[in-house]
Amino acid sequence: MAPLTLPHASDLLADPQFAHGYFHLMDGRDSDLSRHWSEAETGAYARGRQFAAFVLDCEGRFLPLNSHGLPDTRAVTLLTLALRSGAVA
């Protein structure tokens, strides 16, 4: 059986669907899945929402995903922890 490889945090933070899901949950909006999205887009959106829940649980506040066009260092750290713990799958 091949080892499970986790996506890189910086790649996820750069994904627009991931950010879409993250901001929707941070804004308190319901899930906005589209039946026209691919499986990859749906998964990225869901992971963004999972990460938002993880950030709220850990930080209790909004955390920017990017800073000056690059992934925010705190966001990368928290997302890496969330991926390793299984909070974001």
Indicate the pTM of the whole model. 0.88
Q: Would you list the DSSP string of 7-71?
A: PPHHHHHH-HHHHHHHHHHHTTPPP---TTS-HHHHHHHHHHHHHHHHHHHHHSS---SEETTEE
**How far is the C-alpha of 14 from the C-alpha of 5, rounded, in Å?**
18
Q: Residue 23 pLDDT > 50, yes or no? A: yes
Q: How confident is the model at residue 20 (pLDDT cuts 50, 70, 90)?
A: very high
Q: What is the pLDDT of residues 40-75, one digit of tens each?
A: 999 999 999 999 999 999 999 999 999 888 999 999
Please state the domain extents for the chain.
Answer: 9-85
Angle at 32 between CA 84 and CA 81, to 5 degrees: 10
Q: How confident is the model at residue 4 (pLDDT cuts 50, 70, 90)?
A: low
Please name the residue that has the structure tokens 């990460």.
Answer: 51
The pLDDT value given to residue 2: 46
The pLDDT value given to residue 5: 59
The pLDDT value given to residue 31: 84
The pLDDT value given to residue 6: 61
